[in-house]
Structure 1
Amino acid sequence: MTEISKVIQSQIDDNAVMLFMKGTPQFPQCGFSAAVVQILDYLGVEYSSANVLEDQDLRQGIKEFSNWPTIPQLYVKGEFVGGCDIVREMFEQGELRPFLQSQGVVEASA
């Protein structure tokens, strides 16, 4: 396992919800990252993030780690969920909230 793979695995292991994105949740640097942040914030998800623009090794490493070519990438409880298109589709189909609830990272709505 490469050094960057160890860093990525550690971030995924240490955070129930981990978003690898361009920019930060407060200042996303691409529309796709902004869309995922908006969805997670709307659902009230507590998550950690890593800005791939700050580290070229991370930017390339996460693509190789997940075998997924695009960023953002969302991990929940150690499992790769997907990128913007998958997260958006799950949200629009009403599948994302129940999935996140089943993982214990979003409370059931009243």
Structure 2
Amino acid sequence: MSDTQQRIDELVKSNEILLFMKGTASFPQCGFSGRAVQILKACGVEPKSIKTVNVLEDAEIRAGIKDYSSWPTIPQLYIKGEFIGGSDIMMEMYESGELQKVLA
């Protein structure tokens, strides 16, 4: 495992709710990342309990997270160390009530 993959793995395993995104929760820099934050807020997640990683600030993380998850796009949500998906999957899970159960 590369150093970048180890850094990502440590982040994923040490944060209950982790969102790799473009920008920050208070200032998303793409529509999909903004939607991901809004979905989490709609689920009742306090913004301060969402750990975010701004992939625009770290090119290694930006490329490495795609390999880590085998998922080609950002944002990427992890809950309790498990990869959940991007904003489209988050929206589907939110609409079905499944995301709220995972977060409970």
TM-score scaled to structure 2, two decimals? 0.93
Alpha-carbon contact 2:43-2:94 (below 8 Å) kept: no
Aligned counterparts, 1:51-90, within 5 A: 51-90=54-93
Q: What is the rounded CA distance, in whole Å, between the counterparts of 1:53 and 1:44 in structure 2?
A: 27
Structure 1 regions of 5+ residues with no counterpart?
102-110
Distance 1:47 1:25 in 2: 8
User: How many residue pairs end up in the alignment?
Assistant: 101
Deviates more, 1:71-80 or 1:37-46: 37-46
1:107 is aligned to none
Where do 5+ consecutive residues of structure 2 fail to align?
none
Q: Larger relative contact order (C-alpha < 8 A, sep ≥ 6)?
A: 2
Structure 1 stretches of 4+ with a deviation exceeding 2 A read: none
Q: Deviations for 1:8-67, whole angstroms, at most 9, x for unmatched residues?
A: 011111101100000000000001000010011222222101000001111000000000
Question: SS of the residue aligned with 1:49?
Answer: strand
The 2-side partners of 1:44 and 1:9 are apart by 26
Map residues 34-45 of structure 1 onto 2, 5 A cutoff.
34-45=34-45
Distance 1:95 1:14 in 2: 23
Q: Which structure has the larger Rg over C-alpha atoms?
A: 1
Q: How big is the shift at 1:93?
A: 1.5
Give the TM-score, by structure 1 length: 0.88
CA RMSD of aligned residues (A): 0.8
Which residue identity is paired with 2:2?
T
Q: Given residue 4 of structure 2, which amino acid in structure 1 is its aligned partner?
A: I
Cα distance, 1:2 vs structure 2: 0.5
